[in-house]
Amino acid sequence: MFRKVSILYKENDNLAIETAMKVQEWLKNKNVECVLFHSVGAFSSFNHSEIMAIQSSDAVIVLGGDGTMLSASRIINGRKIPIIGINMGTLGFITEIQRTDLWKSLELIFSGSYDIEERSMLNAQVFRDEETINEYLGLNDLVIGKGIMAKISDFELIINNIYVSTIKADGIIISTPTGSTAYNLSAGGPILFPTLKGLVFTPICPHTLSVRPVVLPDNFIIDLVISSNVKDIFLTIDGQIGFPLKINDRVRCRVADEKTYLIAPVGRDYFRVLREKLRWGER
């Protein structure tokens, strides 16, 4: 039973705010302590005491969309604190509980009827002149791409310290199975079942059509070296954190030691999720 719960809701969303207040009251009636009641968004910042409060919770309830879930996942930072995602938007691959099922789902979860899924996360390090200058954690993906200048870039691809190829493309996506239905899918990459162990390497608009997405084991290390002097190349984590890159910068990506833990409704059918979100079978 969860005795301490944090509620995170999408900022500037009146429906999410109103629902969060109702959930807070519902939890109080269940004698559950609400340790934090705070808005969260892609670029929200939290002070140290707020982060510590979230990280000391038994569970976190997120009211928003997938972006809000991604933010919450990074705040939790790999601790084994399950996240209950309530979809307040439209798509929502990670926030699987629909707002219309909110109260029924909460009753089931707080009576002990739920499953917990372990999701892989990415660790990304940026090296410049052989020194680590930044390190990031993400749940969905990392993207290396250009800014407003429409110019192809060169990326040296190195896997497990073995040179593979120099790829000319608009950019590169490295995705977890959870993130395979995000930018990776739009760029022509495959859908991976979210609890699989692995990574997807997907070029964005490659100059050579033979360069295709590749699925790799979860113990592989991928290095990408920026080998062309193109301005405005950025590393982006989960579509929310950006960092400018320079020629000869090396981005190293691997599956992180940290995990994200998501609460899923008992008997949840992932293929039903795909049918509903991607409208499979419709003409």
Q: Which residues are catalytic?
A: 66
Q: Are 19 and 35 in contact (CB under 8 A)?
A: no
From the list 201, 163, 159, 158, the residue with the least C-alpha distance to 179 is 201
In angstroms, what is the C-alpha Rg of the chain? 20
Q: Which two tokens stand for residue 55?
A: 């990280």
Between strands 233-237 and 33-40, the pairing is: unpaired
- Pairwise CA distance, residues 185 & 165, whole Å: 23
Helical (H) or strand (E) element with 20 = helix 14-29
The per-residue DSSP string of 216-275 comes to E-TT--EEEEE-S--SSEEEEETTTEEEEE-TT-EEEEEEEEEEEEEEE-TT--HHHHHH
Q: CB neighbours of 25 closer than 8 A, spacing ≥ 6?
A: none
Burial of 49 (0-12, 13-18, 19+ CB in 10 A): exposed
Helix axes 48-55, 66-76, angle to 10 degrees: 90
